Amino acid sequence: MQTQVATQAHNLPLLATPSHCANKTFIVTGANVGLGLEAAKHLASLGAGRVILAVRDVTKGEAAKAEIEGGLQGKAGGTGVVSVWQLDLESYDSVKAFVKKAEAELERIDAVIENAALAPSVREVVTVNGEGVAAHVKAVTVNVLGTLLLAVLLVPVMRAKAAKLKANWEEGNFEDGVQRLVIVTSRGAFDDNTKGMWEKIREDPIKGMDAEDMFPVATYPLSKLATTFATRHLARVIAPLDQNGSGVIINLVCPGLCITTLGRNASPEHAERLRNLHKNFGRTAEDGSRTLLHAAVAGPESHGHLLHSCVDGEPDLPDWVKSDFEEQKHTWEVIAKELEAIEPGCVSKL
């Protein structure tokens, strides 16, 4: 991990262009700060038709909107592009309501960047409503179940909207015929330390992360590993592209070590270590956001892949993450069972 961070590239290319973004609709979660905010700024400045800031705190979201629109003064784009929508990944009802709003109000959804996540420093269980719906620690609720519930519910909506646009195709209205669903992960979840912890909980990773003796800080990389395994199976088996490469492109992106507020809840010792890493090796949030934008415009060849540093990161994945299809399948099935309890029928609709 240290070597990976110390050698990460800086001043990354901005691969998203106005031709990728013009008139399109983008959703960015966790967009009031850090990587999400910087990605949203770029999308708005590149001529996106709509940029939805999906945020837990609407007041903070409105401040982010004002910052984005202020930066557009005198440039391409303008006011009326950015909207603030409430989305709390700790609440499955909030996720469902967000998807219903998107289905009802958006003509198209060209890319969703699932950036929101948390890195807890204390064990805290999130209690949710619903018969048969279990309570879990925050890292499981937000980073795994809330994130993948949003993905599973949005994919059919994105497909349906794309089909409707294609049926009424006009030049410049449907472009490449695909949409993108980007899930932010971390290559820090693929080190030997996380692998060792995973092997102890792999039979039921959710139960393992929920355990009272699980060190809270460890739940962040474990949750990212669980989401990575499940997403790779989702893309490869459950929601593959059709033979023409059309459909919803689902990929994963690691933005690298970036100077953001993700570690704001870290212990004093861990916070000091992060400060030193940020000082010596950290990417700025703007630089890191370029990896998210790359994933949001990447082609069908990125489906199911890990991207990082604005390139295909598959060659850098260890084989136990990349090629263990049975592990990916098992992790997906554990998570899918939870998703079905939250919203019956959601997986079968994919």
Task: For residue 182, give the CATH number of its domain.
Answer: 3.40.50.720
Predicted local confidence at residue 265, as pLDDT: 62
Position 350 in a domain: no
Position 349 in a domain: no
| Rg value, the chain, Cα | 19
Distances in Å between the Cα of 221 and the Cα atoms of 120, 140, 213 are 11, 11, 16
Position 45 in a domain: yes
Query: Out of 220, 279, 337, 349, which one is annotated catalytic?
Result: 220
Position 210 in a domain: yes
Predicted local confidence at residue 1, as pLDDT: 58
Q: What are the tens digits of pLDDT across the range 82-133?
A: 999 999 999 999 999 999 999 999 999 999 999 999 999 899 999 877 777 8
Query: Averaged over 333-350, what is the pLDDT?
Result: 96
How many domains, in total, are found in the chain?
1
Position 168 in a domain: yes
Long-range pairs for 343-349: beta carbons < 8 A, 24 or more residues apart:
343/92, 343/96, 343/149, 343/152, 343/153, 346/149, 346/152, 346/153, 347/152, 347/238, 349/156
Position 347 in a domain: no
Q: What are the tens digits of pLDDT across the range 239-271?
A: 999 887 788 999 999 999 998 766 566 556 666
Query: Out of 41, 224, 329, 349, which one is annotated catalytic?
Result: 224
211 three-class SS: coil
Answer yes or no: 224 catalytic.
yes
Cβ within 8 Å of residue 99, ≥6 positions away: 150, 153, 154, 157
Q: Quickly state the pLDDT bin for 80 (edges 50, 70, 90).
A: confident
Q: What are the tens digits of pLDDT across the range 306-332?
A: 999 999 999 999 999 999 999 999 999
Domain limits at 149?
2-342
Predicted local confidence at residue 272, as pLDDT: 63
Task: Please tell me which residue, 221 or 78, carries the higher pLDDT value.
Answer: 221
Predicted local confidence at residue 268, as pLDDT: 64
Predicted local confidence at residue 274, as pLDDT: 61
Token pair, residue 333, equals 């099935």
22 three-class SS: strand
Answer yes or no: 166 catalytic.
no
Look at the chain and count its residues. 350
Position 142 in a domain: yes
Predicted local confidence at residue 2, as pLDDT: 60
Position 348 in a domain: no
Q: Which residues on neighbouring strands pair with residue 251, listed in sequence order?
A: 182
Q: Quickly state the pLDDT bin for 7 (edges 50, 70, 90).
A: confident
Cβ within 8 Å of residue 201, ≥6 positions away: 207, 208, 209, 211, 214, 222
Predicted local confidence at residue 245, as pLDDT: 74
What is the average pLDDT score of the chain? 91
Residue 52 near residue 25, CB atoms below 8 Å: yes
Q: Quickly state the pLDDT bin for 176 (edges 50, 70, 90).
A: low
Query: Averaged over 185-198, what is the pLDDT?
Result: 97
Query: Averaged over 17-43, what is the pLDDT?
Result: 96
Q: Quickly state the pLDDT bin for 74 (edges 50, 70, 90).
A: low
